[in-house]
Structures are given as structure tokens and as C-alpha cells.
Amino acid sequence: MEISDAGIQLIKKHEGCEFAAYKDIVGVLTIGWGHTGTDFDENTRWQQWQCDNALQTDLMKFESCVNKMAMVELTQNQFDALCSF
């Protein structure tokens, strides 16, 4: 399965998009639509397309994990919820 457009829109609505890197509430360096990792630093600024690309890349990883780990058939809404981070 793949996350639906509705699932992506829900993530975007609740996550928000930050073009400048910041530390989240627990101190994790974050940028874009909630992207974390080692591919940016605290001085990084992204454009919208970079935020969107990172979200797509992150979602592909989450989709793969959910597809591998799910032991039952999931509805689209359940799958979307499990892929949201």
C-alpha cells in the first residue's frame, strides 16, 4: 500500500512546514514537514520543493516499514495513520 493524498494532507495540516531548521520540543533538529536526519544542520534553510521532497522520501521509508510489519490487512485510513510520523 501507499499513503493516500488525504493522509499526506493530514500530515501537512498537523505538522506544518518550516523552511529553517529548528529544534523541536524534545531538542531534535527538524526542518520542513517534520524531517529529521543528518542531511542538514542548524543553519540550513530549505525551499518548498526541498521540504516536499524530504516528506516524500520519508514517507516511502515509513510505507515500506508498515507494509513489512503489518500482520493484518489494513484499511487505507489505518495505513495512513501508521505512516504518519
Q: Which residues are catalytic?
A: 15
44 C-beta neighbours (distance < 10 Å), count: 14
Inter-CA distances, 2 with 64, 65, 66, 80, Å: 9, 11, 10, 8
Three-class secondary structure assignment of 7-48: HHHHHHHHHCCEEEEEECCCCCEEEECCECCCCCCCCCECCH
